[in-house]
Amino acid sequence: MKILLIANTSFKLVNFRSTLIQRLVEEGHSLTALVPVDNRTPELTALGVRVINMPMHATGTSPFRELKLLLRIFLSIRRIRPDAILGYTIKPNIYGALSARALGIPFIPNVTGLGSVFDRPGLLKKMVKPLYRTAFRHCPKVYLQNPDDLELFLQAGLIDKRQARLLPGSGVDLAHFAAAPLPNQDQVTFLLVARMLGDKGVEVFAEAAESLHATYPQARFQLLGPYGTGKAGGLTQRDIARLTHSGVVSYLGETTDVRPYISAADCVVLPTFYREGTPRSLLEAAAVGRPVITTNMPGCRDVVEPGVTGYLCPPRDSAGLAAAMGQFLKLSDAERTAMGNAARIRMATHFDEETVINAYLETLDLVSAS
C-alpha cells in the first residue's frame, strides 16, 4: 500500500511511531510523511520515509493561515494519492480527514490528547467539536488513547461507537526500554522529562522541589527536555535559569536518548495539567522500572496504580505534588524497588507497543480489502 503519515512534527513520528514505521516498511508498504521539517527529519528519512515539508503552527488560530494550511494539505494529498492516511495531532487529524473525505481516501486518525481546547470555554472549543464530527464521519477507525477521551467523543457524538478503538497510548517498546535496577544511592533523584512548557507543570515541579528541600536536602530534582521556545506557554532559557537559580532544581538539557537519565533516577514526575493522550515519558519510565508521580488527569491517571506503581496528585497543585514526592522519599529502598518492578509489570501487561502496531495492521488490512 501507499501510506501517507501526517503530523505536526517529524519529532513525534520518530519518537512515538518508529517501530510502527519500521514494521510497515518491512511489510513492503511505501511511506510518505507530510510534516514540518525539523532536526529529527533525517531520522525519519533514515527509516525509509519520503518526507514532504508541510510547515504548520501547532497552536495558531489565524483563520487565513488555517484555511491556507487546509488547502495545502488537500492539494498535497490529491497529488500523492495514497491508499490510506495515518493522522496524528489535532490539526493534521482534522484538516487531513476533511481533505481525505473529499478525495475518497481512507483516513485513520489517532487522537493523541485533547490539549487545553476542550477544557477552556470559548469560540475555539465551539468550533473544534463540529470540525471533529464532520472530519471523522467516514473514518474506518478512530484511535483514542485513554478511556476519558473515548467517552467524551462518544457522548458528544463526534464519532460512532463502531469507529472507536481504544489503544494503550502509543505503547512502549519493552525491549528498547529494558528494566534497569534503581540506583539506590544516598541521594533520591526525581526527574521530569518533557518539553519545557507551563502546561507540563514544570513550574509546579520547581515549586514543589523548593518546598521539600529544607526537609529533604539529600533529594535531587532534575529537568530534562528541550526549551519550549515558540510553543504556547513555552519556557525559554531565561525562564529555566530563573527556576534553577537557587540550585535546588537542575536542568540537564535535551537528549535523543532518555534511557540513561531515566536509569539514573529513582522516580519520574510529570505534573502536567492539560489533557494528554497517554504521556509517553511515563510509559518509558515505568517500562524501565521507575515509579512515576503524575496528576489525576485523563491519560495520566491510567498509567499509574496509586500506591503500587506510583502516586497521583491534583493538577496545578505544588503542595499536592510535594506531598506525593514526600511519600516516595519516606519509602525504603526495598519498597521503591517493589514499586518499580510493579510499574514494569503494568507496562508489559497493559501498554506493550505490539498492541498498538497490531491494531494498525488489522485496520490497514481491512482498508486494503475494501
* Residue 5 bridge partners (DSSP): 33, 86
Report the pLDDT value the prediction gives residue 125, as an integer from 0 to 100: 62
CA dist 19 → 26, 65, 174, 262 (Å) = 10, 33, 11, 21
Q: At what angle are helices 63-80 and 90-103 packed, to 10 degrees? A: 50
Q: Is 294 left (phi over 0), alpha (psi -120 to 50) or beta?
A: beta
Task: Rounding to the nearest 10 degrees, give the CA dihedral for residues 334, 337, 342, 343.
Answer: 150
What pLDDT shows up at residue 122? 54
pLDDT top residue among 368 and 86:
86
Q: Residue 168's pLDDT is what? A: 95
pTM of the full structure: 0.93
Domains of the chain: 2-171+352-369 (3.40.50.2000), 189-350 (3.40.50.2000)
Overall residue count recorded for the chain in this entry: 370
Q: What is the mean pLDDT of residues 265-288?
A: 95
For residue 162, is pLDDT > 80? Answer: yes
Tens-place pLDDT, residues 311-352: 999 999 999 999 999 999 999 999 999 999 999 999 999 999
Q: Enumerate the H helices of the chain as residue ranges.
A: 10-26, 41-46, 63-80, 90-103, 123-136, 147-155, 202-213, 237-244, 259-263, 280-288, 318-329, 333-350, 353-369
What would the DSSP string read from start to end of 334-359?
A: HHHHHHHHHHHHHHHHH-BHHHHHHH
pLDDT digits (tens, 9 = 90+) for 14-27: 999 999 999 999 99
* Beta strands at 113-115 and 275-276: parallel, antiparallel or unpaired: antiparallel
Percent of the chain at pLDDT > 90 equals 87
| Alpha-carbon separation of residue 83 from 27, 100, 266 (angstroms) | 15, 10, 46
Q: How far apart are CA 116 and CA 118, in angstroms?
A: 6
Query: Chain-wide mean pLDDT for the chain?
Result: 94
Query: Radius of gyration over alpha carbons of the chain, in Å?
Result: 21
Q: Which cell goes with 11?
A: 519529532
Taking only the tens place, the pLDDT of each residue in 164-198 is 999 999 999 999 999 999 997 789 999 999 999 99
- What confidence score (pLDDT) does residue 163 get? 97
Q: Which residue shows C-alpha cell 533520591?
A: 188
The pLDDT of residue 120 is 58
**The three three-digit cell numbers of residue 50, written as one number:** 519520503
State the average pLDDT over residues 52-75.
88
Write the pLDDT tens digit of every residue in 109-157: 999 988 766 665 555 567 788 999 999 999 999 999 999 999 999 999 9
* Neighbouring-strand partners of residue 51: 33
Confidence at residue 184, expressed as pLDDT on a 0 to 100 scale: 77
User: Residue 318 has which C-alpha cell?
Assistant: 505544588
Please give the pLDDT value at position 116: 62
- The whole-number average pLDDT for the span 40-63 is 90
